[in-house]
């Protein structure tokens, strides 16, 4: 198994089930699939592959800035937001870094590769649905050079209000501590984003992704919004041409596809309600979630993961998240047919425990 979800190719090799026959609940990707507008843009752009892409995806940055209502000079695109996590750690070389637990593991790995960085975990309470207390987090930031915050958090799905994030960002400014806010899943709850607050901050960095909401994981498209004073420093440490031509064209097309965006919000809302009702009926503990995934607690989680895998259903084993044990799994919100099958098989696994 790999350290992340979504490795359907490995699952196919291990189970003998063709990739087309696997239902992947381990990666939280839009069940609508690639937008038609993106497929057309990619097809129309094939002829341009003979040329180098724009070194820093400037046209995509212009579209992103217009879409978000921010200054294009603060936007830096990347090969997925993960590239930018590593870029921030490398460029800023923080000493003491605060990281919640559980949360996305690449923060700690990126800082572990940065020279002189020491990571400190802020353990979230399981008894309170792994909520991040703003006051406690601010206290923990004392003496730190950088802090990571994932909103909504991965894998818990819990989300902080804009007011809470703004309070943490204001404290980070006062402490001269860079707050790296990962909004990779914020497109599912856009009203919680503080991306426009970066303009008034000295230490707030917001990272975002186009791969989750627009089902473009294979193309790797992400971006960061930085205070003006940091943009040049980031560019000086960033490799050129990391976003290929097709990814740039796909990103522009996706941002313009309002029909797809509206349909996504409707489908995800309906399927979240369906999943929650099914989980309650099956007696499965889940944490109320803002985005398109749920963290579940099942006593026989490891046996359930193995049983589901044999049937071509992948879920995310969360035992390798700091702060979680072997009883936690994460599931994505998929299509109605897929969700029905998952609930049926999960209920069977729980009944055997």
In this structure, whether the domain defined by 36-255 belongs to CATH 3.40.640.10 is answered with: yes
How far apart are the C-alpha atoms of 212 and 141, rounded to whole Å?
29
What are the beta bridge partners of residue 246?
Answer: none
Residue in 295, 200, 342, 339 with CA at minimum distance from that of residue 5: 295
How far apart are the C-alpha atoms of 50 and 55, rounded to whole Å?
15
Q: What is the pLDDT along the chain (353 residues), one digit of tens a residue?
A: 347 776 888 888 988 888 888 999 999 999 999 999 999 999 999 999 999 999 999 999 999 999 999 999 999 999 999 999 999 999 999 999 999 999 999 999 999 998 889 999 999 999 999 999 999 999 999 999 999 999 999 999 999 999 999 999 999 999 999 999 999 999 999 999 999 999 999 999 999 999 999 999 999 999 999 999 999 999 999 999 999 999 999 999 999 999 999 999 999 999 999 999 999 999 999 999 999 999 999 999 999 999 999 999 999 999 999 999 999 999 999 999 999 999 999 999 887 76
Rounded (10°) angle between helices 106-113 and 81-92: 40
| pLDDT on residue 322 | 95
Contact 321, 104 (CB under 8 A): no
| pLDDT on residue 35 | 98
| pLDDT on residue 14 | 85
The neighbour count for residue 274, using CB atoms within 10 Å, is: 15
Residue 343 tokens read as 């609930």
| pLDDT on residue 353 | 61
Domain 8-35+258-351, second-level architecture: Alpha-Beta Complex (3.90)
- 328-332 and 96-101 as β-strands: parallel, antiparallel, unpaired? unpaired
Phi-psi region of 298 (alpha: psi -120 to 50; beta: other; left: phi over 0): beta
How far apart are the C-alpha atoms of 284 and 86, rounded to whole Å?
36
Longest dimension (CA), the chain: 58
The 10 Å CB-count burial string (b at 16+, else e) for 211-225 is bbbbbbbebbbbbbb
| pLDDT on residue 313 | 96
How far apart are the C-alpha atoms of 248 and 266, rounded to whole Å?
27
Residue 316 phi, psi dihedral angles, 5° rounding: -90, 115
How far apart are the C-alpha atoms of 318 and 293, rounded to whole Å?
13
Domain residue ranges in the chain: 8-35+258-351, 36-255
Q: What size, in residues, is the chain?
A: 353
């Amino acid at each position: 198994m790999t350290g992340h979800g979504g490795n359907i190719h490995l699952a196919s090799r291990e189970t003998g089930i063709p990739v087309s026959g696997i239902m992947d609940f381990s990666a939280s990707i839009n069940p609508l699939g690639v937008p038609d507008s993106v497929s057309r843009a990619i097809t129309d752009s094939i002829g341009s592959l003979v040329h180098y892409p724009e070194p820093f995806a400037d046209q995509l940055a212009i579209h992103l800035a217009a879409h978000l209502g921010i200054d294009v000079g603060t936007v830096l695109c990347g090969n997925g937001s993960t590239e930018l996590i590593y870029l921030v750690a490398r460029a800023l070389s923080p000493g003491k870094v605060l990281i919640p637990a559980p949360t996305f593991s690449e923060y700690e790995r990126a800082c572990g590769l940065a020279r002189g960085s020491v990571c400190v975990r802020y353990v979230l309470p399981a008894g309170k649905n792994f909520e991040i207390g703003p006051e406690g987090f601010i206290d923990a930031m004392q003496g730190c050079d950088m802090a990571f915050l994932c909103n909504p958090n991965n894998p818990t799905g819990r989300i902080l209000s804009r007011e809470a994030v703004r309070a943490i960002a204001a404290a980070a400014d006062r402490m001269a501590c860079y707050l790296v806010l990962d909004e990779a899943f914020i497109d599912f709850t856009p009203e919680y984003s503080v991306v426009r607050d970066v303009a008034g901050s000295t230490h707030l960095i917001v990272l975002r992704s186009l791969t989750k909401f627009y089902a473009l994981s294979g193309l790797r498209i992400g971006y960061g919004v930085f205070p003006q004073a940091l943009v040049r420093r980031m560019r000086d440490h960033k490799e050129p041409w990391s976003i290929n031509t097709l990814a740039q064209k796909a990103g522009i097309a996706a941002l313009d596809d309002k029909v797809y965006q509206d349909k996504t919000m409707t489908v995800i809302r309906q399927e979240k309600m369906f999943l929650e009702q099914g989980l309650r009926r099956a007696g499965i503990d889940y944490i109320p979630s803002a985005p398109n995934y749920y963290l579940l607690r099942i006593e026989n989680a490891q046996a359930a993961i193995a049983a589901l895998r044999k049937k071509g259903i992948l879920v995310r084993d969360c035992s390798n998240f700091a702060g979680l044990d072997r009883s936690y799994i994460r599931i994505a919100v998929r299509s109605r047919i897929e969700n029905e099958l998952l609930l049926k098989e999960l209920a069977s696994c729980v009944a055997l425990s």
